Amino acid sequence: MKTRQRTVLAALAMTTGLVLTLAGCGGDDVKADPKSSASPKQTTGQNAGDQPSSSQPTSQALAEVKNKDITLTVDSAKRDQGGFLTLSGKVTNGGGEFWTATGWRGDEREVSFNGASMAGASVVDKTGKKKYLILRDTQGRCLCTKFEGGGVKAGQSVEWYAQFPSPPEGTTNVDFQVGDMPPAAVDITEGE
């Protein structure tokens, strides 16, 4: 009987620790996955001759990059005291067809089952010459947005977030990249 009680207490302690760890990773900046009633179609809206392009950010955004009909805006890049870097912004589909985000899920085996998500995102510290991959929980789920319905409807914007290990405190600028989008240079701010 005592062995069973110890097993139950140990399982409870491990579960509590995992929940507290995951809650600490979220920070105040993390936005919940957007809810959308989009129904996926198997079109990407990409033309073979289209080239990625980069543009100046809007007045509120830290960075904005475009590729074909998709515009990715980075509105926030905050380093928190827990050692995490959380980026967030919007993805806008300026085209006339549903855009599927399957190319953004990443090639790594660990994150490939995340489906249409930001799981393939990375940040690069050019000064420290280091690339940081998206954070994951113990079951391989990315700490990032998963697009409801598999993507973004034509003419709509969806909020996103992605969480990474934080570069060293001396690093104040990183390049954010996901899928076939050009890199977006962003300045890091210190969170609370």
Query: Residue 4 and residue 15: Cα distance in Å, rounded?
Result: 16
Assigned CATH for 29-190 = 2.60.40
Query: Residue 102 and residue 188: Cα distance in Å, rounded?
Result: 28
Which residues make Cβ contacts (< 8 Å) with residue 23, sequence separation at least 6? none
Q: What is the pLDDT of residues 51-99, one digit of tens each?
A: 444 444 445 889 999 998 999 999 999 998 889 999 999 999 999 999 9
Phi first, then psi, for residue 72 (nearest 5°) are -110, 125
Q: What is the pLDDT of residues 104-161, one digit of tens each?
A: 887 777 766 777 889 899 999 998 999 999 999 888 888 999 988 889 999 999 999 9
Query: Residue 103 and residue 64: Cα distance in Å, rounded?
Result: 19
Reading the block at residue 13, the tokens are 């302690």
Domain ranges of the chain: 29-190
Q: Give the three-state DSSP class for 4.
A: helix
